[in-house]
Every structure is written in structure tokens, then in C-alpha cells.
Structure 1
């Protein structure tokens, strides 16, 4: 290849180390020692079953005998990979799957439930349930018949109070009105003020309106069930449950003095 000439026509001197391709390397820089970059990449990736070919790196699996398969049949690195590849042991633990006998498990559950049921006193539970149902039936029948006992039972049911309070409430009613839902007191201090006590529990109109159960507020003061709810709620609010349980207030001699 002819040398280049300078602008003056003289042949330009040839620079040492310059090749005809135009690439150059400084004279003072030594040539790299050891393996080239490509060789280093191949040596590194070969251990994990990878092949570096041109512009990409392909990962290839290692066979059980320790050799690696090539990315292409004519790969120039086949020999290097075959001699340097190693098998990577799996780090995942081996899990043993134990089959579950669902039928046997179901049988054990049935047996356990049967033992628990047998251990319980079912006769006692059934008897208690029967008593509760019988009491509900008795109260329903009493309410349906009406009368003083039926009115008291219905009022206690509406107030969500135990039916065991029935005797105490009945005692108060008999003392206050003798069981007459239309009884009116015309001689006490309330009557003199123009607000006589009325009904089974002998409440005055303002007390009745304030204490009657909300579900019965549209009923008149002489309605037996509504009147009982007003009298009971007034007594609980002012004297507490113990006075209601005792059947009203009494003096030191044990005589009823009203509420």
C-alpha cells in the first residue's frame, strides 16, 4: 500500500506501529497479559452453564454427567464448555409428601363427636328445654285468657322482666285497686288536686304518660297492661328492684303503705 504524501509533495514518514487499517497503539503501552475479555467471560460463564456467543450470552443446562449442552451445534466454545462445566447442586430441600387418608380422619371426627355427646347429660339438657317451652306455653295461654294474672304476665313479658315477679306485682295491684282496671281514687291528695290516681296500679295521668312502655303509649290510662307497665317502671325508677320484689313499700310494722 502506497504511503501518504504531505501537502508539499514529500512522502509522509511512516509512523512506527501504524497498520494499514488506521488503528494504532502507543509504543509505550505494553500488550495485555493473560486471557482476553472474551476468554474471561467464557471461563466465568462456563461454570454455570452459560455460553457467550458474539453479542449475546445463552444459558445452557448441565447434563447429569457434568457436561454442558451447547447453544448451537457449531459453537466454537463447545470444547471449552465441555471441559470447564460443572453440575450445580440444587439448594431446594427435598419435601416428602405424605398422603392423607380423609376417610380415616372423618371416622375419627365422628368417633370424637359421639364421645363428647355421650359424655354430656343430654337428658338434663332436654328436660331443661322442655321446662322452658312449657313455661312459654303457660304464659301464652295465660295472656290469651286475660284477667289479672294474664295482664301481669303480658306486662312483664313486654318489659322483659322475669315472670317470677308476678306475685309481687299482684300484691301491689290488689292493695292499690283490688284488681279493678277502672278504679279511680277520689279521696287522696292527688284527687284533691284534680289529678286522681287511676287503673290497676293507681297512677296519675302525668306519671302514666311518663312511664308507660313506649310500645303502649297510645293506650288509655285504664288499659290494664299499659297501666301495669307504667306502675312497674315508676317503682323501679324511684325505689329500685328490691321494693318491687318486696311487693311495694311497707312501714315498720310490715303494713303496706303504697308507693
Structure 2
């Protein structure tokens, strides 16, 4: 009896082992079948397929990215050009305004011999009276040494009661005849004296530049 029981147990154990082996074999076969399935193979192939190669430009960047860069560059250049244009227009406008202000503002002259000569020259130019800085300065220094209140009390004019006065030693009748409109009507005024004398010299000698002695 005991021997039969052991034999039976031994048979059952071997049967279980065989069953397990069969099941294992079947499982492996099933696994192989599943792995070899065309659908699964395709899915696996698709999952591990390399990414599609994108076209690139000459500098190695993707064509789309390169196009975007070109567009951005063109936009940047256009923006810079517009900025420069606005700046140039602004500068031109500012320069024009400055010129208009300068033209509108009266010119300033120093209250000395240099300033008197320069102001007289501007008036002479506007009136068409010839003469140069050198011609005026040279004659002024000879006649009055640059003193606008100089008076000659010894020559024939002084004897006749009409002494020569001012920077260019002009007598009153001559001053009245050749006085330049727009200047003070005063014989000893520096500007009025110079322009009247230059006007007189232009009529008699062609220009104050041609005067080299008493006139």
C-alpha cells in the first residue's frame, strides 16, 4: 500500500512537470508568433525608424529657419534704413530752423573799430557801395587814428567853419549829400561817418580803396 502511494505520487509529479513543460513550450511559441506578426513588426519598425531628413541650406541651417533668418535680416536692414532716413530728415530740419533763426536775428557787432568797419561793410554791400576792410582801415588810421570824435581845427575847412570830423574826417555838407539811408544822421557816428565817406569816395574815386591821401 505505501509503495503504491509513492508510485502514484511520483507519476503525478512527472505529469505535472510534463504539463508545465508543454505550457512553457506553448507560451514560447505564442510569444514567437506574436513577435513575428506582420502588424507588430511594422509597428516596431515604425517606432524605431529614423526621422525624416529635412532639407538644409548652404550654411547648414534648415531651409525654413534660413528663410526666416533672411526675412528677419531684411526687416532689420529696412528698420535701420528707416531710422537713418528719419535722423537725416530731423538733422536737415534742425539745420534749416537754425539758419532761419540766424537770418531772423540781427547780426551783432563789437563796439570798436573792427566792429564799426564790419558793420559799415555790410551796409555798403547792401547798398552796392564798393570798398574793402583794408581800404577803410587804412584811410581811417591815416585820418583819425581810429578816434570817432576826432576833429580837424586847423585846415581850410576848419577856417571856413566846417571842420572835418569823425573816423574818415568828413565835413558836414559832404556828409549830408552822401549820407546812407539806414544809418544815424549824425556826422560823428562811426557807422554813419564810414558809410558816407565810402559813398563819397565811390562817386569821386571809384572806391575808398583808391584813396591814399587827403580827399
- TM normalised by structure 1 equals 0.39
Q: Which of these two proteins has the greater Rg computed from alpha carbons? A: 2
Query: Of Structure 1 and Structure 2, which has the larger fraction of its residues in helix?
Result: 2
- TM normalised by structure 2 equals 0.47
Between the two structures, name the one with larger relative contact order (CA 8 Å, sep ≥ 6).
Answer: 2
Query: Of Structure 1 and Structure 2, which has the larger fraction of its residues in strand?
Result: 1
